[in-house]
Amino acid sequence: MSNNPETALSGQQEIILKGVAAAHGIAIGPAYVYSKHIPRVETKAIAPGEVESEIQRLRTATARAEKELQKILRFAEMKLGAQSAKIFEAQIMILGDTILMGAIEQRITKELKNAEYIVADEISKYRQLMMAAPDEYMHERAHELDDVMNRIIRNVQDQKLFSRLEGESIVVSETLTSADTIIFSRNQVLGYATDLGGVTSHAAILSRSLKIPAVVGLRNATKQIRTGDLLAIDGYAGTIAINPSATTKESLHQKAQRFKEFEERLAELAGLPAMTPDRRTIELSSNIESPDEIEFLRIQGSAGVGLYRTESLLIGKDSYPTEDEQFETYGKVADGLFPDAVIFRTFDVGGDKLAPGSVQEENPFLGWRGIRVMLDRPDLFLNQLRAILRASTRKNVRIMFPMVSNLWEVRRAKILLDQAKGELRGLGIPFDNRIKIGVMIEVPSAAVMAEEIAAEVDFLSIGTNDLIQYLLAVDRDNAAVAHLFQQFNPAVLRSIKHIIEAGHRRGIWVGMCGEMAGDPVATVLLVGLGIDELSVGPTFLPEIKKIVRSIKLKDAKRIAEKVLAFKTEEEIKEYLSSVVKNKVPEIPLEEELGA
């Protein structure tokens, strides 16, 4: 990462591409543009006497393709779990489609053309039909089909599966399938950069658990980058620099260094509680969505999981997982965390999170989502509740309901929970009969009625992302109004204060699991308002703990009082930032984090 005068002399311009940060980390290295190895297919005539050997070639290739997929399937099951690995099973089934393979062999015999041409032509017919369908699901299916097709053709052409990188590289590609990500991760991959994809794509989740920096959604990175180009990937900011200038390299180098040092310093905190100098302990836990993340939590010294997003089980699925499939995951999480606790949030689908087979809505954020879906589908809800209950035998499991907007929903959910318990009892299946339940407070009506809701449950957890969106009527993904999404808007802060006090009046604990919980600028205020628990993205754990350990509760209370007297977000933010800068100067605040 030294300065590179040649680059500057040769006049290569630095180009910055902006994408979406999918996995944290910084790396500088040569690009490897992975062109998906789309095999070239030429039409060749064959003699009638060659038909038999051509068909034999196809059969051998299909068998090899299946062997490859079986290998990927097993590796994926190991890395991702049986549920997520199912996408590879569908591909294996296509290889075993006797109608398809029969048609291909028949065409080879009749048309006297080479196998790869017929394979491509026959499968493309189906692909086109899928691409013509209006829904995204069918398009994804078409991409899967491409994968299968290319795998057969490559094997017909007797080419080896490409999975070797020469030395360390940043892999650049249009998209990365889970198979690609897994295969590359066995090499010296420094980072992933893709044209398409979001942070919830399989590849993104996988790179996070593999701790390889990734930036996705770069649009046309593959067109602008050539293999061998020097790249700098910033997985915090979500940017790629092509031919990074000496200045860029230096600043990224420093940033990487700063994070490394910071993380090392904070690692010393791992074994210590999140306790203020005047001995107020804040329960500090994490938001996770995969059992793979548990190991990382251990390193960070987290006490537990304040939000387990169960809907991650639905990613890439076309139907809800069965009770047994869910139990497999929940049980793994509960056992992995024991003796620490985990809060399973029941499926929060709808809004921007598509449910299998969900309906199109005019206004999904005000529509059929969260607990509303589950109460309308008691069959699905009971499946999930039984699966969670079955995972609760070690008494470290809690349940939380999302998107509650009135008291009836809480009562109805409790009745269904009792029903689920009764069913298990009838079958003689053990569970924690006194399992704690809570409600996520993220709808303004629930915030207003927090005390009445608190009377029904064992804890409340404030979901700030939605609470702010609904309270301020701002969609932060809408660029025209995004600036109005104010985390520190006085109305937001007063609502938070109201919720915490309501819970405390009813003698239950109140936590927070939205993004605000992991914002170092907000920590002092939240502690001062009396928050009992903060559940944050695992990477934020150390710095939030550091802040909690740096400020006395008594001072935090005074600061919170002062904040509540301010009337605009600007004043509040400025004041709170200055508090952190003065009291915990080593914390890198937002602009340095580049997030």
Partner 1 sequence: MIERAVIIRNRTGLHTRPAATLVKTAARFKAEFFIQKDSLEINGKSIIGVMTLAAEQGSTLTLRFDGPDEAEAAAAIVQLFESGFDEQ
Is 453 within 8 Å of 439 (Cβ atoms)? Answer: yes
* Nearer of residues 320 and 330 to partner 1, judged by Cβ: 320
Using the Cα atoms of residue 422, residue 426, residue 427 and residue 431 in order, give the sign of their dihedral: positive
What part of residues 114-133 is at the interface with partner 1 (CB under 8 A)?
123, 126, 129-130, 133
Is 356 within 8 Å of 365 (Cβ atoms)? Answer: no
* Nearer of residues 177 and 383 to partner 1, judged by Cβ: 383
Q: Of 10, 98, 363, 582, which lies in the binding site for partner 1, with binding defined by CB under 8 A?
A: 98
CA dihedral 472, 473, 476, 479 (to 10 degrees): -120
Q: Rule CB under 8 A: say whether 93 interacts with partner 1.
A: yes
- Find the catalytic residue in 37, 253, 504, 513: 513
343, 334, 438: which is closest to 391 by C-alpha?
Answer: 334
Q: Rule CB under 8 A: say whether 356 interacts with partner 1.
A: yes
Using the Cα atoms of residue 233, residue 238, residue 242 and residue 247 in order, give the sign of their dihedral: negative
Using the Cα atoms of residue 554, residue 486, residue 370 and residue 336 in order, give the sign of their dihedral: negative
Instruction: Write phi, then psi, for 87 (nearest 5 degrees).
Output: -55, -30
C-alpha 193, offset from chain centre: 16
Is 178 within 8 Å of 80 (Cβ atoms)? Answer: yes
Least Å from the CB of residue 380 to partner 1: 6
Q: Of 85, 380, 457, 553, which lies in the binding site for partner 1, with binding defined by CB under 8 A?
A: 380
* Nearer of residues 378 and 588 to partner 1, judged by Cβ: 378
Q: Of 82, 100, 161, 474, which lies in the binding site for partner 1, with binding defined by CB under 8 A?
A: 100
Cis omega before residue 588 (within 30°)?
no
Q: Rule CB under 8 A: say whether 565 interacts with partner 1.
A: no
* Nearer of residues 129 and 272 to partner 1, judged by Cβ: 129
Least Å from the CB of residue 464 to partner 1: 32
* Nearer of residues 32 and 347 to partner 1, judged by Cβ: 347
* Nearer of residues 92 and 474 to partner 1, judged by Cβ: 92
331, 332, 313, 335: which is closest to 322 by C-alpha?
Answer: 313
**From 30-38, 314-322, 392-400, 469-477, span contacting partner 1 (CB under 8 A):** 314-322
Sheet containing strand 15-18, strands side by side: 15-18, 239-242, 230-234, 26-34, 169-173, 189-194, 214-216, 20-23
Kindly write down the DSSP assignment for every residue of 54-74, as one continuous string.
HHHHHHHHHHHHHHHHHHHHH
**Can you give the length of the chain in residues?**
595
Least Å from the CB of residue 412 to partner 1: 19
Q: How far apart are CA 28 and CA 190, in angstroms?
A: 8
Instruction: Write phi, then psi, for 242 (nearest 5 degrees).
Output: -90, 135
* Nearer of residues 140 and 515 to partner 1, judged by Cβ: 140
Q: Rule CB under 8 A: say whether 324 interacts with partner 1.
A: no
Least Å from the CB of residue 133 to partner 1: 4
Structure tokens given for 4: 């590179």
Least Å from the CB of residue 360 to partner 1: 10
Least Å from the CB of residue 356 to partner 1: 5
H/E stretch holding 439: strand 436-441
Whether 24 is catalytic is no
The contact pattern for partner 1, residues 137-166, with x = CB under 8 A and - = no contact, is xx--x---x---------------------
Q: Rule CB under 8 A: say whether 299 interacts with partner 1.
A: no
Q: Rule CB under 8 A: say whether 70 interacts with partner 1.
A: no
The contact pattern for partner 1, residues 464-503, with x = CB under 8 A and - = no contact, is ----------------------------------------
- Find the catalytic residue in 202, 253, 483, 504: 202
Structure tokens given for 538: 């695992």
Q: Rule CB under 8 A: say whether 8 interacts with partner 1.
A: no
Q: What is the 3-state secondary structure (H, E, C) of 196-212?
A: CCCCCCHHHHHHHHHCC
Q: What is the 3-state secondary structure (H, E, C) of 359-392?
A: CCCCCHHHCCCCHHHHHHCHHHHHHHHHHHHHCC
Q: Of 32, 192, 308, 320, which lies in the binding site for partner 1, with binding defined by CB under 8 A?
A: 320
Least Å from the CB of residue 98 to partner 1: 7
Q: Rule CB under 8 A: say whether 136 interacts with partner 1.
A: no
Whether 139 is catalytic is no
* Nearer of residues 179 and 496 to partner 1, judged by Cβ: 179
Q: How far apart are CA 247 and CA 253, in angstroms?
A: 10
* Nearer of residues 278 and 318 to partner 1, judged by Cβ: 318
3-state DSSP percent of the chain in helix, strand and coil, to 5: 50, 15, 35
Least Å from the CB of residue 202 to partner 1: 15
Binding residues for partner 1, total number by CB under 8 A: 29
Kindly write down the DSSP assignment for every residue of 123-164, as one continuous string.
HHHHHHHHHHSSSHHHHHHHHHHHHHHHHHHHHHTTPPPP--
Q: Rule CB under 8 A: say whether 357 interacts with partner 1.
A: yes
* Nearer of residues 71 and 317 to partner 1, judged by Cβ: 317
Least Å from the CB of residue 112 to partner 1: 24
Q: Rule CB under 8 A: say whether 134 interacts with partner 1.
A: yes
Catalytic residues: 202, 513
Q: Which residues bind partner 1 (CB under 8 A)?
A: 86, 90, 93-94, 96-100, 123, 126, 129-130, 133-135, 137-138, 141, 145, 318-320, 322, 356-357, 379-380, 383
